[in-house]
């Protein structure tokens, strides 16, 4: 396994299966000075050794292979101490409660307001 390369910018993991949404979020956050490691699936996040150095996670809830709840549980089980936000097109009170209990700090509904997302990410990266 290669050692992680240190980055001068804070690293955020982005797990989003929709390529257009993923790219838009990546560009938005990169423009704010965040190093975004974007993935099309939860399995891709879990297989990347660079996830260990990430400060935060922005994850979609519903992905075809690993959902956001399973993803954060696996990251936590591996010792990842970062902070996280969930985004979802399927919001409901039970999911929000599950996400908060799993370690997400907030749940944002899709389509995500740019202002709300940037405020939430700024809090995570502080």
Range of weakest confidence among 5-14, 46-55, 80-89, 99-108: 5-14
Choose among 107, 11, 12: nearest CA to 67: 107
Question: Residue 5: pLDDT above 90?
Answer: no
Q: What is the pLDDT of residue 8?
A: 64
What whole-number percentage of the chain has pLDDT above 90? 89
Query: 1 falls in which pLDDT band (50, 70, 90)?
Result: very low
How do residues 54-69 score in pLDDT, each as one tens digit? 999 999 999 999 999 9
Whole-model pTM: value is 0.92
Closest CA to 51 of 72, 65, 31: 72
Report whether the peptide linkage leading into residue 57 is cis, meaning its omega lies within 30 degrees of zero: no
* SS3 category, 25: helix
Tokens in use for 92?
């409901």
Which domains are assigned to the chain?
Answer: 11-125 (3.40.50.2300)
* pLDDT the model gives residue 16: 98
With a CB cutoff of 8 Å and minimum separation 6, the contacts of 109 are 87, 88, 89, 91
Angstrom distances, CA of residue 111 to CA of 1, 60, 75, 80, 88: 38, 11, 26, 28, 8
């Amino acid at each position: 396994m290669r050692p992680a390369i240190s980055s001068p910018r804070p690293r955020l993991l982005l797990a989003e299966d929709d390529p257009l949404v993923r790219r838009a979020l990546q560009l938005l956050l990169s423009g704010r000075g965040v190093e975004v490691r974007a993935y099309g699936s939860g399995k891709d996040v879990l297989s990347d050794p660079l996830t260990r150095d990430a400060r935060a996670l922005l994850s979609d809830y519903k992905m075809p292979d690993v959902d956001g709840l399973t993803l954060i549980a696996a990251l936590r089980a591996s010792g990842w101490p970062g902070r996280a936000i969930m985004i979802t097109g399927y919001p409901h009170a039970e999911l929000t409660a599950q996400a908060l209990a799993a370690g997400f700090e907030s749940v944002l509904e899709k389509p995500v307001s740019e202002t709300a997302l940037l405020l939430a990410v700024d809090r995570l990266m502080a």
